[in-house]
Structure 1
Amino acid sequence: MRRILALVVGVCVVLAVVVVVAANVVVVGRTDHLVTPAAAAVRPAQAAIVPGSLVRSDGTLGAVVRQRVESAVALYRGGQVEKLLMSGDNARPEYNEPDAMRDAALAAGVAPEDVFTDYAGFDTWHTVRRAREVFAVTTAVVVTQAPAAARAVDLARAAGLDAQGLVAGEGGRVGREVLARVRGVGQATVRPDVVGGPTIPITGDGRASWAAPPAPGPR
């Protein structure tokens, strides 16, 4: 029985490794030509999609999301994107990623009408699917760190976006992302429903998407 149990466990481990490796090969293979660390190489698009990440208790941006916002603002200033879509977590009233990201973009000089906020970007799939369905985005640049860029672009294209990826830095947990790509392949295949809402076209005024006015003063 011990030998049989050991054999079963061994087979399960091998299968798990095969699944993880296969998922990573698929995701990277499908997106390698669409991800770049060079802003100058990005093709013009309607919007830069900025997935949320840690915001501190005082409302200032953590290092990861700060890099994303700065890179998205650079695309906007360079004329490669027309709008910025700040998508993050606001499941709790006391924690608000999109507004903090929006305020940082406004402080950097982005026109208010060009900054959209999505308060239901609970994960990457929610962010890109809602970009397509709620904000009617068709062409986009997903701005995120190197480990997550391939999966983010793969999911965006599965959601119906003509998407590219801009690497905003090397931060992030590579090991965690290796496993996340397994889930990403599942989401890209099944394409689960996400939280809906009224349509706020990206071609309109971003202030229509704001839940509250900006905080006073630069962050």
Structure 2
Amino acid sequence: MLGLSGYVVLSTRDRVLTPGDTPPEGVDCILVLGCGVYADGSPTPMLYDRLARGVELYGAGWADVLLLSGDNRSADYNELATMDRVAQDLGAPAEAITLDYAGLSTYDSLYRAREIFGVTSLVIVTQDYHLSRALYLAEALGLEAWGVAAEGEDRPGQLYRELREILARDKDFFWAIFQPEATILGEPEPLT
């Protein structure tokens, strides 16, 4: 169990960048992965950190498109409305934002980036503990990917997330091999 998780982490560390690094050339988009919203429509602190980092990279010219991917499974839960609003509040222009309403998992978000939005290269923004798994899946799906960790302190429940991530890396190691179709596929759409 720890061996697979460790392999995923070690095999991706060379593709983790910082905002001060030279941006990779020819990147199609900056993919910001969803991370939960509260009932009042405000982002969780971790989601806010991801959005702030994504908008920062957009403003620094890392890519011309922010692809925001999150969960909108039910009428009363809409990560994307919050993500869109917060990204714009942080300074991203609406015309630079593309929304993926069916990013139900890390795998689904990356699979859909490739199949629905035609992405071939991207920068993934998520917390550091999650970045290795996202990069590993992206590479397995044939995407040229780099990752930048969202800034922010460890949040309550971090130990639980770290332990859960070990299991998630093991699961996604096998998803990377078998590459099932995303939960919700839909018709291809161009990035904005």
TM-score normalized by structure 2? 0.91
Does residue 47 (structure 1) correspond to residue 29 (structure 2)? The answer is: yes
Q: Tell me, which stretches of 5 or more residues in structure 2 are unaligned?
A: none
Structure number with greater CO (CA < 8 Å, separation at least 6) is: 2
Structure 1 runs of 4+ aligned residues shifted over 4 Å read none
Which deviates further from its counterpart, 168-177 or 151-160? Answer: 168-177
**Aligned counterparts of 1:156 and 1:93: Cα–Cα separation in 2:** 29
Q: Deviations over 1:24-79 (max 9, x none)?
A: 1221122010013x212242422111111110111111101000000000000000
**Aligned counterparts of 1:24 and 1:71: Cα–Cα separation in 2:** 25
Residues 7-156 of structure 1: pairs in structure 2 closer than 5 A: 20-36=1-17, 38-41=18-21, 42-44=23-25, 45-156=27-138
Whether contact under 8 Å (1:47, 1:137) holds in the other structure is yes
Whether contact under 8 Å (1:137, 1:201) holds in the other structure is no
Aligned to 1:189: 177
Q: Deviations over 1:78-109 (max 9, x none)?
A: 00111111111100111001121011111222
**Aligned counterparts of 2:50 and 2:16: Cα–Cα separation in 1:** 14
Whether contact under 8 Å (1:51, 1:86) holds in the other structure is yes
**Aligned counterparts of 1:77 and 1:95: Cα–Cα separation in 2:** 29
Query: RMSD of the TM alignment (CA)?
Result: 1.3
Whether contact under 8 Å (1:87, 1:127) holds in the other structure is yes
Identity percentage of aligned residues: 35
Residues 136-215 of structure 1: pairs in structure 2 closer than 5 A: 136-169=118-151, 171=154, 172=158, 173-194=161-182, 195-202=184-191, 205=192
**Aligned counterparts of 2:81 and 2:167: Cα–Cα separation in 1:** 30
**Aligned counterparts of 2:76 and 2:24: Cα–Cα separation in 1:** 37
**Aligned counterparts of 1:153 and 1:98: Cα–Cα separation in 2:** 22
Q: Deviations over 1:98-148 (max 9, x none)?
A: 121011111222121110111110100000000011001111011000110
**Paired letter, 1:182:** D
Tell me the number of residue pairs that the alignment of Structure 1 and Structure 2 aligns: 183
